[in-house]
Amino acid sequence: MTDLREKGTATRRRVLGDAHVDRSLANQTPADAPFQALITDAAWGHVWARDTISLRERSMMTIALLAGLGNDHELALHLRATRNTGASEADVMEALLHVAIYAGVPRANNAIRIAKETFAAMAQEDTK
């Protein structure tokens, strides 16, 4: 494993959690292994691992971008990751207000629905 891969894997685990990364690795096949390597190196090793802004800020930007692009599955994943990044529900809602203005009300409306559902599920999990 290269230094970049190790850095990316550590950052990915810190943000998304061990359970998610372990599932991704367990489900990896020869067909998607190059893609997994790419996102681990580029997204997690090059971008998320930078110390220029906080994980909280990166989380909010990522959530806004995913919401604006309509990437609902990835949006829910990154909403769950707020447990590890320090972004609060209030932070997320502020980011989604920007989505409404800059990417459109329907995208923000959908993202707010997903956020409410995801945060409710997370709260329910916390009570178990």
Instruction: Give the Cα separation of 8 and 14 in Å (integer).
Output: 10
Q: How many Cα atoms sit within 13 Å of 74 on the Cβ side? A: 11
**Quick one: average pLDDT of 26-55?**
96
- Furthest-apart CA atoms within the chain: distance in Å: 44
Q: Which domain holds residue 126?
A: 53-128
Q: What percent of the chain has pLDDT over 70?
A: 99
Q: How many domains does the chain have?
A: 2
Tens of pLDDT, residues 71-87: 999 999 999 999 999 99
Indicate if 104 and 60 belong to the same structural domain.
Answer: yes
Q: Is residue 127 domain-shared with residue 77, that is, in the same domain?
A: yes
Q: How confident is the model at residue 128 (pLDDT cuts 50, 70, 90)?
A: confident
pLDDT in tens, 19-36: 999 999 999 999 999 999
Using the 3D structure, point to which of 52, 67, 92 is the last residue of a domain.
Answer: 52
The answer to whether 77 and 20 have CB atoms below 8 angstroms apart is yes
Per-residue model confidence as pLDDT tens digits over 85-125: 999 999 999 999 999 999 999 999 999 999 999 999 999 99
How would you classify residue 50: left for phi > 0, otherwise alpha for psi between -120 and 50, otherwise beta?
beta
Domain end call among 12, 34, 52: 52
CATH code at 58?
A: 1.20.1290.10
Is pTM, for the whole model, over 0.75? yes
Q: Same domain for 29 and 84?
A: no
